[in-house]
Chains A and B, each alone.
Chain A
Amino acid sequence: MREAGLAYALVLPSLVVFGAFIFYPFVRNFYLGFFRTPPFPGLPKKGVGLTQYREVLTSHDFLNSVKVTVLFAVYTVPTGIAAGLGLAVLAHQKLRGIGIYRTIFSSTVATSVAVASVIFGTLLNPNVGLLPWLGLQTNPSILQNPSWALLAVAITTIWQNLGLSFILMSSGLQAIPDELLEAAQIDGAGAWSRFRNVIVPLLSPTIFFAVVVGSIFAFQSFGQIELLTQGGPTKHTNVLTYFIYTTLQQQQDDGKAAVLAIALFGITLLLTLVQMRLLERRVFYAR
């Protein structure tokens, strides 16, 4: 009994922290969504129940934003994982000097979103950038181009996450015993067959983890949008987080922003649950 009491006492501080910074704001946010923000500051807020939820969640802007966010995730997550895995397999060789490549491949871990965005912003800049210098100029310039802007942001993101993806996949590869790959070699499997039949299945828990966490990251990306495109051109890169940000900061509409935030939370949660159900069945866990 006394031990149980002690246990509760020890859990209490974290409960307080969680309560204050997570549960309370979450419930409060949900509640805020019931109130319409007045057109002029100073006027009283008006409780409208679920009406605001319905309006916002069916609005064209919201649906566009969901579409952009999903596209952004689709562009970045599989490609990022595939690239990290590819590099990890390449670097997983007993060659002299391979350590240099490992360092290079993992170096983007040390770059923040801001650094990556500045680098790519400069590379893609129509006046001083690399692409114009190579003669690959689009009109309007890439970051202002409705067809290319989201892709450019996605590429920046993939590049910035590559180091992490590489390290994650490398550590997964390290855990596969060399003997299994040697056995496969002797069993007549070429490089591709070893990759498909041994590496990928044994790496599936790592890949699964990367897909789930990567998707959550993708849905919460903000910095590169703010620095590269500010949601434009004409909302073509207006991902949900950016939409929430502008709604709150520029339009000062905290009611609508609250609804959007709840929606983002709901979508992310749903996506994660679906992935867990669908993918987990295909994952091999060695016991």
Chain B
Amino acid sequence: MTEAARGDVDVDGAGIAVSLREVTKTYDNGVMALGPIDLQVRKGELVSLLGPSGCGKSTALRIIAGLEAPTSGTVRIGSRVVNDVEAKDRDVSMVFQTYALYPHMSVQRNIEFPLKSRGMPRDERATRVREAARGLGLEGLLDRKPAQLSGGQRQRVALARAIVRRPAAFLMDEPLSNLDAKLRVQTRAELIELHRRLAATVVYVTHDQVEAMTMGDRIAILDRGVLQQIGPPQAVYDEPANLFVAQFIGSPSMNTIGARVVADSEAVAVELPGARIMLPAPTGAAVARAGADDVVLGVRPEHVRIDGGQLPATVSVVESLGHERHVVCRLDDGTMVIVREAADASPARAGDAVGLSVPSEHLHVFDAGSGRRVAV
């Protein structure tokens, strides 16, 4: 495992709010939902857990919450090992995808419930509930039942219920996925504000990469129960640790082109369908060191240019989004390459034969066998 793929940030554990060490989970039915994963979340940090459906995001979150016991490994909240601590005593709060509001309780009583469960005196409870409700614009709704609220309002109540207690960590499992697109963008911004204002530690599960990128101080990408990479969004975008991350992050996703390595005495080049590209010296050296014959080249759509470059291609579809265009091209062997360009760029049309160029500083090289990035 590379340095970047590990969740380590702090060896002695100070300043860590949530930590998973070598945690695995195999369900009773034999499904191995979580490979050994290591994840450290700092105090006040928002970490997005991102990955495709079924990759184990919810499982990881539920293990932190104490709703599911890990098969092996250590879970810490703060510096305390909580493997044997019940969910109710873990000092975390959770926002569920379906909100899980108590349907028989008013908004007021819903928000109050976590305080009441912990035996907080009545007047202190009232103050806290009022504060939380004010912070989320729920003052006028306190007497309503959840059934009398809109989706967005329910979502706020769920948030209010989570923040009212000021726990060590907030766990959120796709809290925005039941909102419509417009409300989702708005609520996303509010969540970020809330996170800043409260300096709250948040583990935020989503399968939406835009959400993960915009919200996370760091994002952790999971695939089939295995942590692929963790780091600040820009770092993950700029230097994906492997092909999975490269293609999962970014929209449209990174173009990948199979290539053969041809090395001679002076330089290392790669042979693509229809062209040969010299690799810049450090990359070339790294590729030579890795000793791979077959590699996969990755290049982001915004980095490919249609400028009569040396890579021959045919335009197959032009998708115009108003502010930008996605030009879908095919290389000689049929490999698809998407070019993202400004709406007013040179008007390529379907059927045109064009030449593409790829700036070598934006070229990512992955080992074709393992999918791992060839580190420079």
Contact = CB atoms under 8 A, between A and B. Distances in A.
Interface of A: 96, 177, 179-180, 182-190, 193, 197-198, 201-202, 284, 286-287
Given A186-B88, A186-B94, A286 B103 contact: yes
B373 to A, nearest CB: 38
B67 interface: yes
B113 interface: yes
Closest 8 CB pairs of A and B: A188-B117, A187-B114, A183-B100, A179-B100, A284-B104, A201-B104, A185-B87, A189-B117
Interface of B: 28, 65-67, 86-90, 92-94, 96, 98, 100, 102-104, 113-114, 117-118, 147, 161, 165
Given A182-B67, A201-B104, A287-B147, A187 B161 contact: yes
Contacts of B94: 182-183, 186
A197 B113 contact: yes
Contacts of A177: 98, 100
Residue in A183, A185, A202 with the greatest tally of chain B CB atoms within 10 Å:
A183
Contacts of A180: 100, 102-103
Given A183-B102, A187-B114, 6 more contacts: A179-B100, A183-B96, A185-B88, A187-B117, A190-B88, A197-B113
A186 B104 contact: no
Residue in B94, B96, B103 with the greatest tally of chain A CB atoms within 10 Å:
B103
27 contacts: A179-B96, A179-B98, A180-B100, A180-B103, A182-B94, A182-B96, A182-B100, A183-B94, A183-B96, A183-B100, A183-B102, A184-B102, A184-B113, A185-B66, A185-B87, A186-B65, A186-B92, A186-B93, A187-B88, A187-B93, A187-B117, A187-B165, A188-B117, A189-B113, A190-B88, A193-B117, A284-B104
A286 B147 contact: yes
A45 B135 CA distance: 82
Contacts of B100: 177, 179-180, 182-183
Nearest to A182: B67
A187 B28 CA distance: 26
A281 to B, nearest CB: 13
Contact of A202 (B86, B87, B104, B161): B104
A187 B113 contact: yes
A284 B103 contact: yes
Contacts of A188: 88-89, 114, 117-118, 165
A183 B96 CA distance: 8
Contacts of B87: 182, 185-186
A185 B94 CA distance: 10
A190 B86 CA distance: 9
Contact of B28 (A96, A182, A286): A96
B296 to A, nearest CB: 41
A96 B100 CA distance: 26
Contacts of B103: 180, 202, 284, 286
Residue in B88, B92, B93, B147 with the greatest tally of chain A CB atoms within 10 Å:
B88
Contact of B67 (A186, A284, A286): A186
B67 A185 contact: yes
A15 to B, nearest CB: 39
Nearest to B146: A286
B115 to A, nearest CB: 9
B108 to A, nearest CB: 14
Nearest to A185: B87
Contacts of B114: 186-188
A208 to B, nearest CB: 14
A286 B146 CA distance: 10
Nearest to A176: B103
Residue in A186, A190, A284 with the greatest tally of chain B CB atoms within 10 Å:
A186
Nearest to A187: B114
